[in-house]
Structure 1
């Protein structure tokens, strides 16, 4: 539903930010358009971080993060279009799908805006160490400006500055207020840790490793919180960008005055025309009747006129309350809506109000005619309401005339469309275009016709020239082609590796040199399983049961590695071994139990008694004493 015209007024940064937050709490379409892309960015960031930590190839994670970022730009454009339609649209309630179709129609321009904004923000943050990131803030409305189609995406910063106009300062303050994301970052961390605590205390769930992961000293957790906070603020960014453009338009075109004119009451067309002073005369006549100036006692009225003076509203309410209490009538506390017309009277009606109050006091106190005073009070309050309504209509017509007079000034006149000046140089002085320029111009013309709803036959220009749209479309085609090529290369390499593994060709098995591991006391392969088991028994005899449990677990890892059940690597965790377990099915359950006990004893610093070591030894013995698999022994 379109916003009321009274909302079209210049706003401060705090008011605009508050309006954006309120919009996001009431509208679900902007969340539906931004959350999928936010989830894609979060997943891509976590995959890239895990690839860096594990030393995996970074080609595929980087490609996925790039695609997720372009998807995010498309979603931001759709969300900005949805916000603009909700605020200023007149075709009923807009839908999220219609906004997504509008964004797909402007996909080339949005993709160029993504690359443009990423490059600009990177340069600003890098070259100025982030100091100019707030001052250079007009690009924050980039996606909303692209969806309005008010300029070339290759000159996006200039277009955004022109559309914002005097609201550029507000955009800088809005960017400062976006620092509230830091508070959201820590609140999200506290909330998730509180959920883990409740799950462990109330439900009895084993969440030790989840709590260890959700710690501020874990880089992966910090990246998850940062990316999630960024994704949750995506609807707010779209709403603030659209509201900033509306604010810039209001400041430049005087739409706040036009909105005030549109809110004035319209004249009823079916009512016969009346003289210009008829409404004002009717208001004066009603006021005279209501304030008792046409009372039968003419002499008393003349005396009152001579002594009457403007009466303040507070004094009038006080004196009317005294009259009402004396005559047992309704007081302002009993019926506040009845006495509201007293506070709404204009300053010009102060003398008439004084006459009305004097008349009531004379009836109530001098003549002790409380019945007449009550009747006069009720009739006068009703007439005061009619007087206020008549006064409002007269003031509205005066305000309409003033607003129309302001809007008729030259500075509020609609600017004539700019006509591009043709180059003054003669055609003979220009060099003939090369074949690359002719090819790009032909490709841009063909792509432009492809994206239009109605295909038009291209007309060969007399003087070929490159346009911004042609360059934009060429860049999009090149980007899409590179993306498809990289994806195809990655898939071919993955398929090639899979085929080689399936055929058993070029498979090389590397073993670890035992001599090089002789000095690595923490490496499971530095000893044979029997050696680790013998060391465990020696440590248990000395009473060092925690160290004995660790030696037994290393003996188990050494045995499983030699049987091919796991691939031992110091960079992997114990639970990574469990997830990659390829040994006998009946071994997996005891291996899980031993891993759980070892982690609680060694990493959880839980004390281990002699009975605990005996139980651990009893669970480990069947796995250490079992014969090797035939295929492994034969090998």
Structure 2
């Protein structure tokens, strides 16, 4: 999946983010390298938040979050290496294990980068209020830069700025576009709530407490959504960082202009095929333009001095390389080999390239930059010559194929009886991920496949077959059964006992003497007894038990008032759904039910203030006089 030279061109922020999303969605290796670290960060953050809420010691949760963050840094480095191998590699599909081993080999540098980036981002957010985090975004490619080993991790921002070059402005816009995570945050909230609704409606599972937890007014749910969204965008961050570095290299080295030159059509006037001389001229032109791009200086109409010969240029470049320790004499002989292919027409460009390298080495005394320009230019020169040689070879092969396709070179077809079928090559067995995707696709296809059209009736076949008669009989039997059940149900609903009339719902009570030994039954005590027990428990400091006693007093009062029908098999929210009491009581009853569930079932700590607030909400419902019709009954 290596990127062709024809695709090397500067891209804007939208195109880079779109390419990163596409690459992340199509590559399982990026997910395999980033999801473990993202999941560890999510789990550690939830554990730390729960420990802070419950008042537990924070030493162990903080240590786990630190280790998870370092694990995330190693995963980001491995994913960046994997994406770079996927884009620029030439050995086929890269291996996630190889990228992980490469990240482990650079683990000290990655750990320093994790600490550096965390401190720098925290400082930018606190000092500039988040504005500096958006404007200073070159360090966003820190993990990818460390995997390339181009500089010291202690000067990470400078290394990232130098590698990005003109692409630093694009990095700012890419970071601004990463605000799309806010949309992913709300979409994740909507999707999870939709799944809970399906589970309650279709499967019939009681998910009331889960639906209450998955609410935007719950801080822990917001933290879970934020951490999960952050983890889901981890592959996109690794892909964007690597693409930004590739874009910066394209802009600095002019590889996009070189690719455009390679796309220029060869001039062909009056001849069906190019001659070898024309091919050599095109190759020389491409090499000359490549050297001109590497020199990165504006072309002039003529040079005042006599251009250098290739041998003299080779000697002077060797002296510069020796002075700057760029290469050994043995390596230099191999690197300067492409210079021998240049002709006198390209000597001017070669002369400018040599003078620029000498100026950097001798005048500016910047051996690092001179060495980098020299090695990069010679490497690009060799790649350009090789690419042109391959193009000439492909043209020669196409010409030979056209010649052999003429009738005089046609071969007689072999006899059929002597044909020996080739042994079929067994297909390569797909991986487990591909098998799972194929199985899931077939399953979805079967589920959503439209019904097949009925076969056309052939002439001479009977209109009524045994299968159609059986289907009609089944439909008739099912219809009759439903009709009988409907009649029975209507008779049962219309049957009334004498004296019932329209007096309303009769409340059946249970003798308190039979429930006196059951401390968990709300009807085992009168409302006043439960309220008195709650005050005693609160005086001893047992506020959670006191809240439970007040809630049982409320259930006992509502049952005696006819507002609910108490049953141990029902949940608290079932009582709220079947509430038939006074309209002004329903809102405080809902609030008391919510507070009781969080205090008793959610293990939320309850203090004296919480008990007093619960007692204040319960008091009007317990002290209100009973309804006249219930009192008369």
The TM-score, its normalising length taken from structure 2, stands at 0.50
